Amino acid sequence: MGRIIYLLIVVIDILVIIDILKGNKDNEKKILWIIAVVFLPILGPIVYYFYGKNK
């Protein structure tokens, strides 16, 4: 069960990173969001979709 959750978190993180790279933000903001997603694998995507995606 733990491996499935880990795999799900990795897939979500990869999808969020792809979404960040496709966005029209500055490169500096993209790098900061990617760092946040990598170092906060559960909280990073949540914060990105609620705060960073629309701005």
Rounded to two decimals, the pTM is 0.89
Q: How far from 33 is each of 10, 19, 47, 55, CA to CA, in Å?
A: 16, 11, 9, 12
Q: Note down the domain range covering 20.
A: 2-52
Nearest to 17, CA basis, from 52, 6, 5: 52
Here the tokens at position 6 are: 């880990």
Number of domains within the chain: 1
Section 20-44 average pLDDT = 94
pLDDT for 2 equals 85
CA-based end-to-end distance of the chain: 36
pLDDT for 55 equals 63
Section 1-8 average pLDDT = 92
Q: Position 36: which residue type?
A: A
